[in-house]
């Protein structure tokens, strides 16, 4: 193990934690993105899983820029993230892993200003995010109300999440999950721990999709874990999704040639409608469940 703290400990607002394993190019981009931030009340913690691609040397060469860093083998990415949590001393933690960057130089300042608008700070904030895939950017916007139906169909990327450090120290990532642990932790905090939250409708980070869950094998593993987590937290919503699938198949039989476009449109409208009007949500799915029962 190799661990070092390059600066004297002081209370900071943001703890930015970067997890790295053999991604020197991504580490450089993340590091430089943070250095350009106009808001300086942060600490930068690097957790490197004993990389052999030059990352360790880069960390040592730029050690004065990193508040703390640890270089040792990790069991998984979430093991590394838990190590970062243990080292964090800021008010809030934001995970910005190798390859992820801030959207602009004022990102942290904008985030800080939004948080300070609240008389009582929330336990958890989440923003919108940009997704970067092979040089192309796409914006991902989230809903402000987090319902079981919404989160059974949507994932709030951890690059969008800002969580109080004292809460994460008591609620670490579950190491039984290798790729979907951030999804499980987010649901645990919202639905089991009942933590307060708020959506900040601005873009703060750019999530690089070239990570573990972007590779074919990673996607398969992730989907397996994601399905397991959904079944645990949302058993009723899974039943509703089965009803929607039955609804989708029924529409396809009516008009196969135009079904793809209209089904997508209908599904998106239904999601928005049910988020706003939970009462109709329940009635609609009771009706679909009845149809599904009759079909069987």
Give the distance, in angstroms, between the CA of residue 254 and the centroid of all CA atoms in the same chain: 38
* Mean pLDDT in residue range 247-256: 52
The domain spans of the chain are: 2-231, 234-295
Nearest to 13 by CA among 160, 173, 121: 121
Specify the pTM. 0.81
Task: For residue range 94-151, list pLDDT tens digits in order.
Answer: 999 999 999 999 999 999 999 999 999 999 999 999 999 888 899 999 999 998 888 9
pLDDT of 249 reads 58
* pLDDT averaged over every residue in the chain: 85
pLDDT value of position 8: 43
CA–CA dist 171, 115 (Å, integer): 22
Name which residue leads in pLDDT, 267 or 135.
Answer: 135
Say what the pLDDT of residue 218 is. 73
Distances (CA, A) of 276 to 202, 273, 280: 21, 5, 9
Across 41-45, 54-58, 169-173, 267-271, least confident range = 267-271
* Lowest-confidence pick of 174-178, 210-214, 261-265: 261-265
Question: Model confidence over 38-83: pLDDT tens digits?
Answer: 999 999 999 999 999 999 999 999 999 999 999 999 999 999 999 9
Q: Give the Cα separation of 107 and 113 in Å (integer).
A: 10
Task: Identify the residue with better confidence: 86 or 276.
Answer: 86
- List pLDDT tens digits, range 174-198: 999 999 999 999 999 999 999 999 9
- Nearest residue to 182 (alpha-carbon basis) of 101, 190, 66: 190
pLDDT at 9: 46
258, pLDDT greater than 60: no
Give 268 or 238, the one with higher predicted confidence. 238
Predicted confidence (pLDDT) at residue 208 exceeds the cutoff of 70: yes
Share of the chain above pLDDT 70, in %: 74
Phi then psi for residue 23, to 5 deg, are -135, 65
Q: Which CATH superfamily is domain 2-231 in?
A: Spore Coat Polysaccharide Biosynthesis Protein SpsA; Chain A (3.90.550.10)
pLDDT-derived band of residue 262, with 50, 70 and 90 as boundaries? low
- 146 and 190 Cβ atoms separated by less than 8 Å: yes
Indicate whether 277 pLDDT > 90.
Answer: no
């Amino acid at each position: 193990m190799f661990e070092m703290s390059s600066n004297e400990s002081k209370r900071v607002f943001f703890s930015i934690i970067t997890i790295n394993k053999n991604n020197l190019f991504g580490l450089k981009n993340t590091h430089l993105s943070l250095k350009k931030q106009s808001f300086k009340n942060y600490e930068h913690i690097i957790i490197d899983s004993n990389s052999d691609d030059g990352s360790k040397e880069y960390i040592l060469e730029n050690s004065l820029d990193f508040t703390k860093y640890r270089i040792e083998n990790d069991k998984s990415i979430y093991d590394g993230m838990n190590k970062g949590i243990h080292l964090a001393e800021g008010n809030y933690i934001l995970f910005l892993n190798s390859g992820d960057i801030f959207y602009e130089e004022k990102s942290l300042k904008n985030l800080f200003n939004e948080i300070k608008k609240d008389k009582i700070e929330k336990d958890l904030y989440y923003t919108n995010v940009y997704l970067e895939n092979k040089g192309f950017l796409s914006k991902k916007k989230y809903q402000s109300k987090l319902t079981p139906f919404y989160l059974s169909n949507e994932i709030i990327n951890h690059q969008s999440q800002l969580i109080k450090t004292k809460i994460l120290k008591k609620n670490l990532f579950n190491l039984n999950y290798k790729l979907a642990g951030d999804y499980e932790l987010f649901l645990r905090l919202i639905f089991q721990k009942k933590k307060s939250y708020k959506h900040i409708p601005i873009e703060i980070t750019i999530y690089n999709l070239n990570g573990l869950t972007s590779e074919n094998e990673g996607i398969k593993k992730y989907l397996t874990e994601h399905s397991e987590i959904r079944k645990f937290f949302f058993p009723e919503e899974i039943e509703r999704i089965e009803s929607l699938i039955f609804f989708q198949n029924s529409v396809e039989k009516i008009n196969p040639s135009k079904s793809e476009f209209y089904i997508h449109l209908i599904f998106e409208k239904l999601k928005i409608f049910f988020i706003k009007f939970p009462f109709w949500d329940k009635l609609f799915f009771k009706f679909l469940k009845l149809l599904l029962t009759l079909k069987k």
